[in-house]
Structure 1
């Protein structure tokens, strides 16, 4: 089979993010300067980079933190209109202590604010698909397993 005869394959954009928690179980959200809604820390995977490595790099670039990442909580098939197919990975960042919180710096200027948010309040900060994805990740963490999701919802 020649290159011209090869069937088309998916070429999704790949991103990786992390969930950090406080002692009350709230999730850390960040406010990007270039978006109208809040997000979890993370970003796009670069060519040749693994999702875990991308997540570590993004956390260092965005928050000036170098946390140990725990297990992958969710992989989400999340195509978006005007952005194409996406494959999103969420890792467990565990709980941030007071010292780590004091060390947060918006190193690259992409973020303007951070805060902890209750799972029940996520829709106030971002689109429903993000709230579903985060809740799916929280459930996976509680159950001690990873989840596969589509548009934020576990199958």
Structure 2
């Protein structure tokens, strides 16, 4: 009998939030370091939880101290040698005064926009669109989802 020594996977972990405006348009950000738009968020540091990372990333990227709601989606992707795990939380609806308070970190983001969901498809990569579709479905039916996607 052969003994197999398993090496645990060490996936990268990212966390972000989905926000909407009063017209049910979704907030997307345009990273300076990527081709496609994205949801606000970023990497989880070694000493923080995914929720804490989401709060920090929203503060760093958008200048907002946002109230982060429930977890909507956990997604595993094929990014990197051990994969990547995304946590996406519900940021809720940002009222006009909160939208006006958005201040981008120019080192990370070129711009932001609240876009109709149909338009989001043309701004996101195909895997990011698949992730957003799962996020929207989870938000609509109130059930957290786990999904496995290609590279995001």
Same fold, TM-score > 0.5, yes or no: yes
Deviation at 1:6, TM superposition (A): 5.0
Matched length: 146
- For 2:28, the equivalent position in structure 1 comes to 29
Q: What secondary structure, in the 3-state scheme, does the structure 2 residue paired with 1:99 have?
A: helix
Structure 1, unaligned runs of 5 or more: none
Alignment of 1:1-155 (within 5 A): 6-80=5-79, 83-84=80-81, 85-107=83-105, 109-151=107-149
**TM-score normalized with structure 1 length:** 0.89
TM-fit CA distance, 1:108 = 5.6
CA distance in 1, matches of 2:50, 2:106: 20
Tell me, yes or no, if the aligned pair for 1:29 and 1:115 is still in contact at 8 Å: yes
List 4+ stretches of structure 1 deviating above 6 A: none
1:92 and 1:142 map into 2 onto residues whose CA distance is 11
Q: Relative to 1, partners in 2 of residues 1:107 and 1:127: Cα closer, same or farther, differing over 3 Å? A: closer
Give the unaligned 5+ runs of structure 2: none
> Secondary structure at 2:89's aligned position in 1?
strand
Task: Provide Cα deviations, 1:96-122, integer angstroms capped at 9, x if missing partner.
Answer: 111111110013621111101222222
- Give the deviation of 1:7 after TM superposition: 1.9
Task: Report the RMSD for the aligned CA atoms in angstroms.
Answer: 1.5
Determine if contact 1:62/1:109 at 8 Å carries over to the other structure. no
CA distance in structure 1 between the aligned counterparts of 2:107 and 2:89, rounded to whole angstroms? 23
